[in-house]
Structure 1
Amino acid sequence: MHRRAQPVPYAVAAALAAGLLAAPAAGAADAGAGGAGTRIRDIQGDTRISPLAGERVTDVPGTVTAVRAFGSARGFWLQDARPDADPATSEGLFVFTGSATPDVEPGDAVEVSGSVSEYYPGGRGAGLQSVTELTGASWTVVASGNPLPRAFVLRDATVPGRFAPAADGGSIEELRLRPGSYALDRYESLEGMRVAVRDARVVGPTSAYHELWVTAEPARNRTARGGVLYAGYRDPNGGRLKVASLIPFAERPFPVLDVGDHLGGTTAGPLDYDQFGGYELQATTLGGERRTSPDRESTRRQRAAELAVATYNVENLSARDSAAKFERLAHGLVDGLAAPDIVALQEVQDDNGPADDAVTGADATLRKLTEAIAAAGGPAYEWRQIDPVDDADGGRPGGNIRVAFLYNPGRVSFTDRPGGDATTPVRVTDDGGAPALSASPGRIAPGDAAWNDSRKPLAGEFTFRGRTVFVAAVHFNSKGGDQGLDSRFQPPARGSEEQRTAQAAAVNEFVRDVLAVDRRAGVVVAGDVNDFPFSPAVARLTAGHALVDLVGRLPRGERYGYVFNGNSQVLDHILASPALAVRADYDIVHLNAEYADQASDHDPSVVRLRP
């Protein structure tokens, strides 16, 4: 049985919190290996793993700072009101109660007994860090109404610029924490403790799960529109922090904010860690909404002599999607992208969407999209694509996602050549000194092992003002299975990179086959490469000077079109052969990724060329 004590007078509670009086149940000892006298700092230790893991501790004193009263991972956070002088040892701890709501309240002084364990979100094999916690716990409330320990403020001066200690890909769990040297060590040294951010700029928009990302380092790698640029493996931006809320939404709705907005005032609560974003501030005090984000962008219209080629990941679009989604995508293409001449689409699903049946055709999906574009004032686009083998191209099971072309027949013509299907590779032929495709549209090396369980690239032959332009629409394999930036393994392994690099090699070979016939041929590769400009995959894609990655033409602060865990980054690319790249005008149009309300999680991009 837990007993509820009478509230203590505020003056006494304040003295307890300040360490001027002994905590009622702390006992005479400040430390001990299990048993009575154990403090939270003894449980947390000065590494990522508790020195008492697997042991049972009794009568651990602390003040309840927050309660999680929902979900299957309920419990409360406990913090020692009498911290030690070692910055490496956290003074906070989570007490896990499963599906039972604990009968404690913030401000309760308690004594807790339980077993020390290390919880790995997603399972130990996921590669994430662990959360030290007490399980099988019982507790006694010895006083109520105590003030909460002061929150540690995360800001430039308290979050180190270096991200994590290196261990040559090994685990950093046993390394002593150096919170003054590494951002991940700083956060780990505060695990379970109250932390705060003030007037924090939003760098990841509010998600469907009522979470957003802020930065504690507002000047670091700032994008032109207020985000945080991810520009290299060595700098993952340690100031990023996810914010969730422990406040009932009926009492305080979670703010719906975009990148560049601010959580005004103070946001505070215990520091947690989860499998979908690493360290997370579980707010018990939530700042106010301060809207400072920029408007959605639009690009200029191409001139008569310019060929506009765009790429757009339409995020699992199927004929079953709402008319509102089709309308949003259509206005993005017409108003945002100024109706490009050619559009490389990714994540076009079959007509039945996620229904896992034998349907692979996507004509109904593409018809609804082109009809929506016309209704939005755009051109009467036509499309070309090849149906995949059922369930062979990855993505959502049953969805049969694929790449496809839209094109405006009033501006360009498509050269149709028969023979293209899901399994037949397209070849480059020499037609009297001019390159041509054996099939148009045709798939690039669909039988290559590089495309196992992944979308196959689509090549097409277009004519603009009498000039042939070859376009390849691509969607490389995802980063699924890679270790997270805040993994316990540093640097984290990027296992999915090997397949993307092999895919890049196959596309590069196709482009070089075209250029071998005519070195001044016009070739465009456009799509979701699922990798960064500084990645091995992109290096392989451009190898031999076959292609130029046009994102490098933009100012540094504008090189992004996707926001993941608060990092603004490049996944979608448009690359051009050297002859086309000379006078290319490239633009990423920011109308989705930075916003809570988005038609897709990707921003589209467009290049205007003079073939």
Structure 2
Amino acid sequence: MPRRTLTANRTATRTAPAASGGRSAAVAAVVSTALAAGLLTAAGAGSAAAAGPAIHDIQGSTRLSPYDGEQVAEVAGIVTGVRDHGSRGFWIQSAEGDQDDDPATSEGLFVYTGDASPTVTAGDAVLVSGTVTEYVPGGAESGNQSLTQITKPAVTVVSSGNELPPATVIDARSVPDAYAPEGDAADDGSINSLPLQPRSYALDFYESLEGMNVRVGPSRVTGATDPYDELWVTVKPGENRNRRGGTVYGDYSAQNSGRLQIQSLTPVAEQPFPKADVGDRLAGRTEGPLDFNQFGGYTLTARTPVTVERKGLEREHARPQRKGELAVATYNVENLDAGDPQEKFDALADAVVRNLASPDIVALEEIQDDNGATDDGTVSAEATLEKFTAAIEAAGGPAYEWRGIDPEDKKDGGEPGGNIRQVFLFNPERVSFTDRPGGDATTATDVVRSHGRAALTHSPGRIDPADDAWLDSRKPLAGEFTFRGRSVFVIANHFGSKGGDESLTSHHQPPNRSSEAQRLQQAKTVNAFTKKLLKADRKADVLVLGDINDFEFSATTKALTDGGALRAAVTSLPRSERYSYVYQGNSQVLDQILTSPSIRRFSYDSVHINAEFAEQNSDHDPQVLRFEP
């Protein structure tokens, strides 16, 4: 998903308190050096020592600075890091350590230089004047916490080559297990105004170090290097670890407090960022200022080189289905269209054949129209599917046939102009498709009882496409298959995305999950349709599958399984194996296959071939279920 433009937001102006008594200790050396160098007059030195607050005064003991919106003069510090790309600026930190003996107040601060390149280097002793602001990466509506910073700065370099303040170590002992305090109900669930408790909550601990020079030691990678040259590690080796090296997100209250994003302050052109997969190891000591950004929350912006020890994680392979087993898979192929390079088609095809063992039925999500994001009214995906099925056959797979329904132009969400939809591939040598014409983008399929069994009125057909649950979202695709004389109903889904939800580091705790409302309605609609099938034939074999965009413990999944109509097959796996996606260092479930009660025995695989790797053909891992109808 492309990144959004960074926007700023300022909280209400507050009256600045008087400077603390530690202020003179903080600037004494800097002012003295400035006087000796002739950079300050005696009058100026007196003004600097008396008027300017210390960094910890500006940061305060909550998430919001008591100086927000105020002008400050001659704030003293040592430069600990410089960023001359993206959000330009530099970090300063008190040279004297924790002067106020308050672990809740940070001794570091970001100085934002705007379009201008910073003119300082690490080790400079500086005096900074400017305006204190609370910047919200992503804007106020994102729910993100804010970053305290000085803007429109006037900077005086007093001396250079100074020793940097010692780095604060972030490790398993220092980070609390509890993630965040409960938000203040009187403040819309926000934690912004609550006093920080860094010894009790991980988010408070990280906030108490905002802008400070920090360090992590050798740490396990839990989120692979992404296209923006970032990776995630955990400083807690045993926290919800799985056998492949990831950290599993298994509950809303198990956010995994040891996770931390790592970036580099050095531009990639000067020092390439390492490629790392889940389970690799961040080597040595990695040190730099602790930032807060839109795309990962608290982030160690490494001033030192980022190096990785590779552990050689391998992509998994599903076992082939046996003669009497029907193998059904779901795979989000990430905006596949006919204009994509042949290499992408070949890689995805190889995954279907080699890693998934050529399932009998494959439900695909994110098949785009033939010209992808070009917005010209094209809705057919025939060229995309011909190219994909040809690539599968060339890789040694079966000659898959396909069934699908073209959406209305620009009605199903996704990438603008792409017209993504779900499509069934099936191996006609193993399974047959029951075609019942009449289904189209706006005509709903229904359930009837025929010869004592359930049947679809349209196959393929869409489920309740006019229902508000599917507004600007992908409509479910239902199909009726026959395997060894028995009907199998497959419903392919791509529920609404989590876009718009607040992150785990939101200032609302718990974070708002606004997108869940639509998925909940979608789940209820699919559940009701499944119950229609089971009412017509209580022994009907029904598989509901796809990119559900929600966790196995979510309200969405509970609505899908309501009344015992379906079971989430991923729950048959050990808890540490339940994931199909990695987001911000958390391995989690988004893709699912759910089974009707008649499917009592099955074999389930979440086939890990993408989500844990820096090199991906899709950002989702496919799922495969095998059973005997």
TM over 0.5: yes
Shift of 1:286: 2.7
CA contact (8 A) 1:34 1:55 kept: no
Shift of 1:21: 10
Task: Tell me the distance in 1 between the aligned counterparts of 2:460 and 2:418.
Answer: 21
AA aligned to 2:435 is D
Whether 1:340 aligns to 2:340 is: no
Shift of 1:35: 6.4
What is the match of residue 135 of structure 2?
119
Three-state SS of the structure 2 residue aligned to 1:63 is strand
Change (3 A) 1:392 1:21: closer
Match of 1:80 among 64, 69, 94: 94
Shift of 1:432: 2.4
Whether 1:136 aligns to 2:142 is: no
Shift of 1:574: 0.4
Q: How does 1:445-594 map to 2 (within 5 A)?
A: 445-580=464-599, 582-594=600-612
Task: Tell me the distance in 1 between the aligned counterparts of 2:296 and 2:26.
Answer: 39
CA contact (8 A) 2:31 2:49 kept: no
Whether 1:159 aligns to 2:171 is: no
Change (3 A) 1:145 1:342: same
Task: Tell me the distance in 1 between the aligned counterparts of 2:237 and 2:517.
Answer: 34
Shift of 1:375: 0.5
Shift of 1:287: 3.7
Task: Tell me the distance in 2 between the aligned counterparts of 1:224 and 1:343.
Answer: 27
Match of 1:64 among 79, 83, 90: 79
Match of 1:23 among 4, 26, 29: 29
What is the match of residue 197 of structure 2?
178
Task: Tell me the distance in 1 between the aligned counterparts of 2:207 and 2:352.
Answer: 44
Shift of 1:250: 3.9
Match of 1:386 among 376, 401, 405: 405
What is the match of residue 16 of structure 1?
none
Match of 1:357 among 376, 396, 413: 376
What is the match of residue 200 of structure 1?
219
Three-state SS of the structure 2 residue aligned to 1:537 is helix
CA contact (8 A) 2:48 2:74 kept: no
What is the match of residue 236 of structure 2?
217
Match of 1:94 among 110, 113, 118: 110
What is the match of residue 8 of structure 2?
none
Shift of 1:396: 0.5
AA aligned to 1:371 is A
Three-state SS of the structure 1 residue aligned to 2:437 is coil
CA contact (8 A) 1:204 1:563 kept: yes
CA contact (8 A) 2:127 2:156 kept: yes
Shift of 1:124: 1.5
Change (3 A) 1:316 1:220: same
Whether 1:146 aligns to 2:162 is: yes
Change (3 A) 1:492 1:197: same
Three-state SS of the structure 2 residue aligned to 1:369 is helix
AA aligned to 1:107 is G
Task: Tell me the distance in 2 between the aligned counterparts of 1:24 and 1:33.
Answer: 10
Task: Tell me the distance in 2 between the aligned counterparts of 1:478 and 1:243.
Answer: 26
Task: Tell me the distance in 2 between the aligned counterparts of 1:477 and 1:227.
Answer: 26
Structure 1 unmatched runs, 5+? 1-18
Task: Tell me the distance in 1 between the aligned counterparts of 2:399 and 2:501.
Answer: 41
CA contact (8 A) 1:35 1:57 kept: no
CA contact (8 A) 1:266 1:286 kept: no
Whether 1:284 aligns to 2:300 is: no
What is the match of residue 266 of structure 1?
285
Query: What TM-score does the superposition give when structure 1 sets the normalisation length?
Result: 0.94
CA contact (8 A) 1:36 1:60 kept: no
Task: Tell me the distance in 1 between the aligned counterparts of 2:382 and 2:608.
Answer: 28
1:572-607: CA deviations, max 9, x gaps?
A: 000111111x11100010000000100000000100
Q: Number of aligned residue pairs: give it.
A: 588
AA aligned to 1:76 is F
Task: Tell me the distance in 1 between the aligned counterparts of 2:52 and 2:520.
Answer: 56
CA contact (8 A) 1:25 1:59 kept: no
Structure 2 unmatched runs, 5+? 1-24, 35-41
Task: Tell me the distance in 2 between the aligned counterparts of 1:442 and 1:434.
Answer: 18
Task: Tell me the distance in 2 between the aligned counterparts of 1:288 and 1:274.
Answer: 22
Three-state SS of the structure 2 residue aligned to 1:514 is helix
What is the match of residue 294 of structure 1?
313
Task: Tell me the distance in 2 between the aligned counterparts of 1:174 and 1:248.
Answer: 36
1:207-263: CA deviations, max 9, x gaps?
A: 111111111112101122101100011111121111111123344210110111011
Three-state SS of the structure 2 residue aligned to 1:180 is coil
CA contact (8 A) 2:27 2:76 kept: no
What is the match of residue 14 of structure 1?
none
1:10-32: CA deviations, max 9, x gaps?
A: xxxxxxxxx8994232899xxx9
What is the match of residue 39 of structure 1?
54
AA aligned to 1:531 is D
1:342-376: CA deviations, max 9, x gaps?
A: 00100000001000111000011011110000000
CA contact (8 A) 1:326 1:368 kept: yes
Three-state SS of the structure 2 residue aligned to 1:410 is coil
Q: How does 1:319-334 map to 2 (within 5 A)?
A: 319-334=338-353
AA aligned to 1:120 is V
Task: Tell me the distance in 2 between the aligned counterparts of 1:258 and 1:217.
Answer: 18
Three-state SS of the structure 2 residue aligned to 1:242 is strand
Three-state SS of the structure 2 residue aligned to 1:269 is strand
CA contact (8 A) 2:28 2:49 kept: no
Task: Tell me the distance in 1 between the aligned counterparts of 2:106 and 2:619.
Answer: 37
CA RMSD of aligned residues (A): 1.6
What is the match of residue 259 of structure 2?
240
AA aligned to 1:607 is L
Three-state SS of the structure 2 residue aligned to 1:421 is coil
Three-state SS of the structure 1 residue aligned to 2:141 is helix
Task: Tell me the distance in 2 between the aligned counterparts of 1:308 and 1:129.
Answer: 45
Task: Tell me the distance in 2 between the aligned counterparts of 1:493 and 1:69.
Answer: 34
Whether 1:601 aligns to 2:626 is: no
1:439-490: CA deviations, max 9, x gaps?
A: 1000011111000000000000000011100000000000111111110111
Shift of 1:288: 2.1
Task: Tell me the distance in 1 between the aligned counterparts of 2:179 and 2:49.
Answer: 33
Task: Tell me the distance in 2 between the aligned counterparts of 1:313 and 1:481.
Answer: 21
CA contact (8 A) 1:347 1:403 kept: yes
